[in-house]
Structure 1
Amino acid sequence: MNVIRCYAPTNDYNEDAKDRFYDRLQSINEKCPTKDLTILVRDLNAKVGIDNTGYEDIMGRHGLGERNENGERFANLFAFNKLVIGGTTFPHKRIHKTTWTSPDHTTQNQIDHICINKTFRRTMEDVRTKREADIASDHHLLIVKMKLKLKNHCTTGRTTSQVQYGLSSGYRQTQQIQDSPQQ
């Protein structure tokens, strides 16, 4: 299992900073074996919108609003890497799709995402926000419900089976991405 947690630059950042972020995210994703479950989470500052034309394999029609520039970059990267955008797959009321609300409560967006590689798409049962969770942020808690089947790992000479799992070494690199977007 590979878990990638990252913070993407906003639309207002300069193009070089955004290019560096998406290049680093691509290089980290390339290090994750395609046969392993890969989950990418966090604030990607990307609005992917409702229109999934050209991206039917990686997103549903249940997003919010219109796709922005970051959303286009995000969708292209995820189409290339065959990662599914979970929040667009499941129908919910707007209040359960909104992941960020402006301080004056006039703007609501879906900019936080949980993504999974396409091979494991059916393991996702639901993605939604929990607005009542007190997380001291202008973002809402985003929750994914998954059903995973872990295989037993047998080694020769042993009579018992063990379940093995681990996090990708890419996690440390994605932590650096989160902490260092530059304008």
Structure 2
Amino acid sequence: MVMGDFNAKVGDERVEDVVEPSGIGTVNERGRRLIELCQVNDFTNTNTWYQNHPRRRWTWKSPGDRSRNKIDYILIQKRF
């Protein structure tokens, strides 16, 4: 199990068994690298597997509440 603030955006589109469509926004460079890490090490991103209300999907809010993103993730081995 790997947990942390990766400052990565994995987006809201399905990517194999790594990311499900319950994310937020579009993928950034750190998000692509996190997805690649998951694919190489057989991890899945559990934060995107459960459908939440949109107000509960974000894990970070910018100062002044201008934007909200999901950048903290919990990764587990696919076999679990």
TM-score (norm 2): 0.94
Tell whether 2:21 aligns with 1:61: yes
Aligned residue in 2 for 1:127: none
Paired residues in the alignment total 80
Tell whether 2:13 aligns with 1:51: yes
Q: Give the alignment of 1:76-91 within 5 angstroms.
A: 76-91=36-51
Aligned residue in 1 for 2:2: 40
Q: Distance in 1 between matches of 2:4 and 2:17?
A: 21
Residue identity opposite 1:49 in structure 2? G
Residue identity opposite 2:6 in structure 1? L
Q: Distance in 2 between matches of 1:56 and 1:65?
A: 18
Larger Rg: 1
Residue identity opposite 2:19 in structure 1? M
Q: Distance in 2 between matches of 1:108 and 1:64?
A: 9
Q: Distance in 1 between matches of 2:70 and 2:54?
A: 10
8 Å CA contact 2:13, 2:21 repeated in 1: yes
8 Å CA contact 2:23, 2:57 repeated in 1: yes
Deviations 1:75-100 (A, max 9, x none): 01111111110111000112211000
Runs of 4+ residues deviating >3 angstroms: none
Q: Distance in 1 between matches of 2:29 and 2:42?
A: 20
Tell whether 2:31 aligns with 1:71: yes
Residue identity (%): 35
Deviations 1:14-33 (A, max 9, x none): xxxxxxxxxxxxxxxxxxxx
Residue identity opposite 1:45 in structure 2? N
Q: Distance in 2 between matches of 1:106 and 1:84?
A: 30
Secondary structure of the 1:119 match is: coil
TM-aligned CA deviation for residue 102 of structure 1 = 0.4
Q: Distance in 2 between matches of 1:40 and 1:97?
A: 19
8 Å CA contact 2:13, 2:19 repeated in 1: no
Tell whether 2:77 aligns with 1:117: yes
Secondary structure of the 2:65 match is: coil
